[in-house]
Amino acid sequence: MPHYTPLIATIVAGLVLAFIFGSIAHRLRISPIVGYLLAGVLAGPYTPGFVADQALANELAELGVILLMFGVGLHFSLKDLLSVRAIAIPGAIAQIGAATLMGMAMVYFLEWGWVAGFVFGLALSVASTVVLLRALQERRLIETERGRIAVGWLIVEDLVMVLALVLLPAMATVIMAKDAVSNPAIWQPIAITFGKVAAFVLVMLVVGQRVVPWILHWVAHSGSRELFRLSVLAIAIGLAYAASTLFGASFALGAFFAGMVMSESPLSQRAAEETLPLRDAFAVLFFVSVGMLFNPSIVVNHPWLLAGTIFIVVFGKSIAAFLIVRAFKYPTSTALVISASLAQIGEFSFILAGLGVQLKLMPQTGLDLILAGAIISIMLNPFVFQAIDWIKPQP
């Protein structure tokens, strides 16, 4: 008897194609993320052959976002951030501002409007956590001062993007309102959103920091590795869901704080190791689902817009970061490493751009440009690092 199994078919197609193209990418010494994105393009509706169920793929992508953000929070170290706060915080904010303005300037003549330009530029401003950390690990730079600055810079970018994901729906309500912006009622959604998010953060910092480590400690003493792994996943997904349903925050914010409060536990390293395989699997499905949204015709229909997008990501953003780091009187070698680290875009760009399209703040063309820019910039990133090695050999 035949069975209709779109969920299984989507997972199987996603993982098998991701494995094939990820292996090819690794063989070519480029990030496997490029392979995962291309696998999604192949399984998407814009290419011939098998087409995966996009609605189910988006559901799987949500789980991927939750686990990606949980991993970011789990590795969030307030101590490391504070050690480089003098450059990471103002530097990241200044670089985000510069990249956002470049993106807005690029689409100014396309009649998208300033809101679409803002969302587009903001999506171009943030680097991929996965790509950056892997690049630094391959070059053994994580424990160096340059590596700590890059990671601190990335953490600030991630925090800004988490805040943007929370506020964008509320801002959309204000922007789409037909009443005058000066009407106090128009700003009510933003005020309510701030209030709910503040309540969630307060609950997590006051209650979560005590309860979550205690739960991990209690489960660890049970001696069951299976229960410990299950408890970590239940906390991550459960808090993400609670943040969304009870506080109106995003899954991403809930997952991030779940990881952050768990990082306070001495068992955080074990929690990260136990959940890594599942986080990696759903992260792969996230990138595949993103690739399914990409329409390859953007390369033919808007080549100059694509060239401008890549220029902002690979050169404009990097030059801005280089000048900012040098302005803080750090050596050229440090400025070059930071610049190369940021010369790509990734997961937050997809999430933010996808939300912008969903809220009708930005046209689909903007998302296509960001997806194409991400694929190409991630492919170019190893060559950017090789270029800075040639310009300024690392000690």
Give the largest CA-CA distance in the chain: 71
- Chain segment 285-322, per-residue pLDDT in tens: 888 887 887 788 888 888 999 999 999 999 999 999 99
Six-digit token string for 170: 């509320």
Residue 283 backbone phi and psi in degrees, to 5: -65, -40
CA 250, CA 242: separation in Å to the nearest integer? Answer: 10
- Chain segment 235-249, per-residue pLDDT in tens: 888 888 888 888 776
- Output DSSP code: residue 31: -
- Chain segment 88-142, per-residue pLDDT in tens: 889 999 999 999 999 999 988 888 888 889 999 999 999 887 777 777 777 777 6
**Interacting residues of 30 by C-beta distance below 8 A, sequence separation 6+:** 378, 379, 382
Mean pLDDT of 348-353: 85
What is the pLDDT at residue 81? 66
Q: What share of the chain is helix, strand, coil (3-state, %, to 5)?
A: 80, 0, 20
**Interacting residues of 94 by C-beta distance below 8 A, sequence separation 6+:** 320, 324
What is the pLDDT at residue 392? 62
- Chain segment 61-92, per-residue pLDDT in tens: 778 878 877 887 787 666 766 777 888 889 99
- Identify the helix (H) or strand (E) that includes residue 338: helix 332-341
Domains of the chain, residue spans: 66-274+298-365
Res. 46: pLDDT tops 60: yes
What is the pLDDT at residue 21? 93
CA 320, CA 348: separation in Å to the nearest integer? Answer: 20
CA 113, CA 366: separation in Å to the nearest integer? Answer: 12
Domain spanning 66-274+298-365, CATH architecture: Up-down Bundle (1.20)
Res. 2: pLDDT tops 60: no
Q: What is the DSSP secondary-structure string of 106-164?
A: HTGGGT--HHHHHHHHHHHS---HHHHHHHHHHTT-TTSHHHHHHHHHHHHHHHHHHHH
In Å, how far are 98, 222, 228, 330, 386 from 325, measured between CA atoms? 14, 49, 43, 6, 20
Res. 30: pLDDT tops 50: yes
- Output DSSP code: residue 78: H
- Chain segment 151-202, per-residue pLDDT in tens: 788 878 877 887 787 778 777 776 666 544 555 555 666 677 777 778 887 8
Asked if 73 and 129 count as a contact pair (C-beta separation under 8 A), the reply is no
Six-digit token string for 224: 């069951």
Asked if 73 and 260 count as a contact pair (C-beta separation under 8 A), the reply is yes
What is the pLDDT at residue 260? 81
CA 374, CA 346: separation in Å to the nearest integer? Answer: 6
- pLDDT bucket at 394, cuts 50 / 70 / 90: very low
What is the pLDDT at residue 184? 58
pTM of the model: 0.76
Chain center to CA of 143? 22
What is the pLDDT at residue 109? 80
Angle (CA) 24-27-29 rounded to 5° is 115
Instruction: Using alpha carbons, select from 117, 103, 72, 125 the residue that is nearest to residue 283.
Output: 72
What is the pLDDT at residue 29? 79
CA 374, CA 280: separation in Å to the nearest integer? Answer: 19
Q: What is the DSSP secondary-structure string of 250-282?
A: -HHHHHHHHHHHHTTSTTHHHHHHHHHHHHHHH
Six-digit token string for 375: 């694929």
The per-residue pLDDT of the chain, averaged, comes to 82
Instruction: Using alpha carbons, select from 161, 134, 268 the residue that is nearest to residue 209.
Output: 268
Q: What percent of the chain has pLDDT over 90?
A: 15
Chain center to CA of 387? 25
